[in-house]
Amino acid sequence: MQNTRLVKRCGICGTELTSHGSNTQICRACFRVQSRNCRTCGKQLPLYGKATLQCRECWKNRGRQPVRVCISCGKPMNRYTNPLLDRCKECRAPQPKVCVDCGKLLTRHSQSPRCWDCHTERRQVVASQKVCTIEGCTNKHMAKGLCAIHYERMRVTKSRGGKHIDSVSRIWVAQQPCQLCGYARMRSHVHRVIAQGDYVLGNMIALCARCHDEVHRGLTPCPEPLGVTQLVPSALS
């Protein structure tokens, strides 16, 4: 009886195969030189080496969760990072504060966006551009919206209980004779028509000591106050 043997040949070069396994389709030589790709990521595998189906990276990550990426910088995150966090450790760290003008590093607890030198320089520039808020005054601003003259006048007025005193006009009124009896041998008293008012023209009266006492007691009616039209210009010089 004639012995018939099934001959299997390589599907590439046609060489007779020595192995008759069910999965054998090509010879050893063709199997070594053909290109192979990773079945997971598609990366080309080396020609010479073990007949593996995966590359080294996919083989290491087999059964693991996909690599998470930081949403800020795009770098892969450590697999042990809290899964509730979506940023890496470097991006979650507090960023250092720098001065917006010179870029100098600020302290961690600084609340100002500028360093002390830039803050002082900026305040000086702003202060040099401001003028007094009093209408008609163009002097340089000093403090509280006022120039040096009006600021000092405000301080003096505040120290006197809020009463403004026109010193020049008050001296001139004191030099006038009494408006009731005409006594002028001694310096007159300055009486205010409105007791809580200021010492300004239109609210001051020149009285001698006796007439001043009578006016305060209500024995003599108060005369008309001295006005601006009665002020002698030479007295203010």
Q: Which two tokens stand for residue 203?
A: 């609210």
Question: Which of the four pLDDT bands, split at 50, 70 and 90, describes residue 191?
Answer: very high
The DSSP letter of residue 98 is: B
Question: Which of the four pLDDT bands, split at 50, 70 and 90, describes residue 154?
Answer: confident
* Residues forming a β-bridge with 204: 192
Q: Which of 158 and 222 is assigned the larger pLDDT? A: 222
Q: How many other C-beta atoms lie within 10 A of the C-beta of residue 176?
A: 20
Return the percentage of the chain with pLDDT > 90, whole number.
Answer: 23
The pLDDT value given to residue 9: 80
**3 state DSSP class of 206:** strand
Distance from C-alpha of 94 to C-alpha of 76, rounded to nearest angstrom: 20
If you search the block for the tokens 């790709």, which residue do you land on? 37
Name the least confident of 17-26, 42-51, 104-113, 163-172.
17-26
Q: How many other C-beta atoms lie within 10 A of the C-beta of residue 111?
A: 7
The model's pLDDT over 63-103, given as tens digits with 9 standing for 90+, comes to 666 778 999 888 988 877 888 888 888 888 888 889 999 98
Answer for the pair 76, 69: CB distance below 8 angstroms, yes or no: yes
The pLDDT value given to residue 144: 81
In order, the DSSP letters of 118-173 are HHHHHHHHHHHH-B--STT--SBP-BTTB-HHHHHHHHHHHHTTS--B-HHHHHHH
Query: Under 8 Å CB-to-CB from 157, ≥6 apart: which residues?
Result: 163, 164, 165
Residue 182, pLDDT above cutoff 90: yes
The closest of 205, 156, 204, 203 to 179, measured between CA atoms, is: 205
The pLDDT value given to residue 206: 95
Question: Which of the four pLDDT bands, split at 50, 70 and 90, describes residue 235?
Answer: very low
Question: What torsion do the CA atoms of 203, 209, 214, 217 make, to the nearest 10 degrees?
Answer: 80
Query: Under 8 Å CB-to-CB from 105, ≥6 apart: which residues?
Result: 96, 97, 98, 99
